[in-house]
Structures are given as C-alpha cells and as structure tokens.
C-alpha cells in the first residue's frame, strides 16, 4: 500500500512538472516571438530612419555637420543590431 502511494505521488509530481514545462514553453513563445520579429525588422527600420534623418540634415539651413549625426547614429545602430542578430 505504501509503495502505491509513493508511485501515485511520483506520478502526480511528474504530471505537474510536465504541465509547468508546457506552460512555460507557451509563455516564452508568446513573449519571445514578438521580440524576435521586432529585432528582425529593427535594422531595416533604423536604415529608413537614417535616410530620413540624412535628408533632413542635408536640407537644414544653415548647413552644419552636426545635423548629420543622428543619421550616422541610426546607420551605426542598424549595422550593430544587424551584426549581433
């Protein structure tokens, strides 16, 4: 009788662990998938923002080199994120 109780307890603990592992997998997928998509599209979005900032910096009057720094930053950040991911 005591052996059956230990077996039932072990079976119950195993079932609970299996359910927790499945729930954790679903939660991590729900959280991770949008982040993966975001980091996948982020270099492209930063390149587009860099082009817009470059055009804005070139068209500012009076022209100063400092106006191009946001565009350079966007291009460098896009290259860095593309290299990492």
Mean pLDDT of 43-49: 94
Predicted confidence band of residue 13 (pLDDT cuts 50, 70, 90): very high
Our measurement of the distance from residue 3's CA atom to the centroid of its chain's CA atoms, rounded to an integer in Å, reads 49
pLDDT tens-place string over residues 14-33 = 999 999 999 999 999 999 98
Which segments of the chain are extended strands (E)?
none
Task: Give 39's pLDDT tier (boundaries 50, 70, 90).
Answer: confident
Is residue 28 a contact partner of residue 49, using CB atoms and an 8 Å limit?
no
Q: What is the pLDDT of residues 48-60, one digit of tens each?
A: 999 999 999 999 9
Compute the mean pLDDT over every residue in the chain, rounded to the nearest whole number: 91
Cis peptide before 28 (omega within 30 of 0): no
């Amino acid at each position: 009788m005591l052996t059956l109780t230990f077996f039932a307890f072990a079976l119950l603990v195993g079932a609970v662990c299996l359910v927790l592992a499945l729930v954790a997998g679903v939660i991590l997928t729900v959280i991770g998938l949008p982040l993966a998509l975001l980091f996948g599209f982020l270099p492209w979005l930063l390149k587009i923002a860099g082009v817009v900032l470059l055009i804005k910096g070139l068209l500012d009057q009076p022209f100063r080199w400092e106006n191009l720094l946001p565009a350079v930053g966007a291009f460098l950040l896009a290259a860095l994120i593309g290299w990492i991911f």
